[in-house]
């Protein structure tokens, strides 16, 4: 199967982008990162993409009167690059329903909680305030409702006594860096397929990524 052409959308640090770039160096990885788009000129992730020889572009949302205008410019750029799949990786913009409709079941997002628990911002704070003993990260298909959509894969991490936001965030982020490449591989290879509001994983799936997906990561 031809490798799927992926664009990664970022707004900042780009550590998940880096994890995807590293995974995609392997020619047998089922996706290649062909474009990185940032809505901010100062996103650190842009330099990471350039180190890997991946094309970058900045579409500054401040130059657009409406969300829809920004999203239309984004779609145009993605179409020009003949993108198959879009990975959101710390992209701090809500996408319009129209944008999402233009890319049906082709947009993936990573979120630092075990959805459907703790949507929105400051989710590690939310997890600590709720006193949960396990948290983690989720890669899901983007649907119009915020932090909603069919779940491709999740990684669980313990919430330990004495944790603060920084410690929990770092533990979850380390899990994210394993989870996102594994989840994209599942989806790009069509081992994971959307059926309605769920993602089915092929029954014969025994890939090594199962370890990253379902085991605890400390």
- Binding-site ranges for ligand GRF (CB under 6 A): 12-17, 89-90, 110-112, 173, 176
Task: Report in angstroms how near the CB of residue 177 gets to ligand GRF at its nearest.
Answer: 8
The conformation of residue 109, written as its DSSP 8-state character, comes to: E
Look at phi and psi of residue 190 and say left if phi exceeds 0, alpha if psi is from -120 to 50, else beta.
left
Q: Nearer to ligand GRF by C-beta: 13 or 167?
A: 13
Q: Which residues are catalytic?
A: 111
CA distance 194 to 185: 14
Tokens of 198: 């769920």
Q: Nearer to ligand GRF by C-beta: 79 or 122?
A: 122
5, 197, 209, 161: CA torsion to nearest 10: 120
Q: Nearer to ligand GRF by C-beta: 46 or 78?
A: 46
Q: Nearer to ligand GRF by C-beta: 8 or 74?
A: 8
Task: Report in angstroms how near the CB of residue 40 gets to ligand GRF at its nearest.
Answer: 11
Look at phi and psi of residue 206 and say left if phi exceeds 0, alpha if psi is from -120 to 50, else beta.
alpha
Task: Report in angstroms how near the CB of residue 202 gets to ligand GRF at its nearest.
Answer: 26
Nearest to 77 by CA among 177, 9, 154: 9
- Rounded to 10 deg, the angle between the 15-24 and 165-188 helix axes is 30
Query: Phi and psi of 140, rounded to 5°?
Result: -140, 160
Task: Report in angstroms how near the CB of residue 70 gets to ligand GRF at its nearest.
Answer: 19
């Amino acid at each position: 199967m031809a490798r799927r052409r992926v664009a990664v959308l970022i707004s900042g640090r780009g550590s998940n982008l880096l994890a995807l770039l590293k995974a995609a160096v392997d020619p047998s990885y089922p996706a290649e990162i062909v474009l990185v788009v940032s809505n901010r000129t100062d996103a650190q992730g842009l330099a990471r993409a350039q180190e890997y020889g991946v094309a970058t572009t900045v579409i500054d949302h401040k130059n657009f009167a409406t969300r829809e205008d920004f999203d239309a410019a984004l779609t145009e750029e993605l179409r020009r690059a003949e993108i198959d799949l879009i990975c959101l990786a710390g992209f701090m913009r809500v996408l319009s329903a129209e944008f999402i409709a233009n890319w049906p079941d082709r947009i993936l997002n990573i979120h630092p909680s075990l959805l459907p628990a703790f949507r929105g911002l400051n989710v590690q704070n939310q997890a600590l305030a709720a006193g949960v003993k396990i948290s983690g990260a989720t890669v899901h298909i983007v649907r119009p409702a915020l932090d909603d959509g069919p779940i491709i894969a999740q990684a669980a991490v313990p919430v330990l006594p004495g944790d603060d936001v920084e410690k929990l965030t770092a533990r979850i982020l380390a899990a994210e860096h394993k989870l996102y490449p594994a989840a994209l591989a599942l989806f790009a290879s069509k081992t994971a397929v959307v059926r309605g509001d769920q993602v089915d994983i092929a029954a014969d799936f025994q890939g090594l990524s199962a370890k990253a997906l379902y085991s605890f990561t400390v």
